[in-house]
Amino acid sequence: NTTSPNEQIATEPETILGAEQKNDYTAFDGLISKMNLTAIEYETLSILMAGFTMLQIGRILNVNRTTIWRRQNCIRKKYMFATSY
């Protein structure tokens, strides 16, 4: 059973945040700041969170979709590090 990178990024923060924090974006902002993303990683994550596909993001940022895939992997690693206790 596999999930796409988009599903992992979109679903994992909900497992960390409680129901009362669901609409509190300060919790997400705190998590993102803990991840220490570069400017381009942050831009890529923002577009991903807006629901765009890797191909669409590549067109928006004028880069190859392989580059977007690599950025997603870096973002995922930083997310895993930021959420490990």
> Per-residue pLDDT tens for 42-80?
999 999 999 999 999 999 999 998 999 999 999 999 999
Q: Which amino acid is at 51?
A: G
pTM value surpassing 0.75: no
Residue 23 and residue 48: Cα distance in Å, rounded? Answer: 19
pLDDT tens-digit series, residues 12-26: 544 555 655 556 678
Do residues 10 and 51 make contact, with C-beta atoms less than 8 angstroms apart?
Answer: no
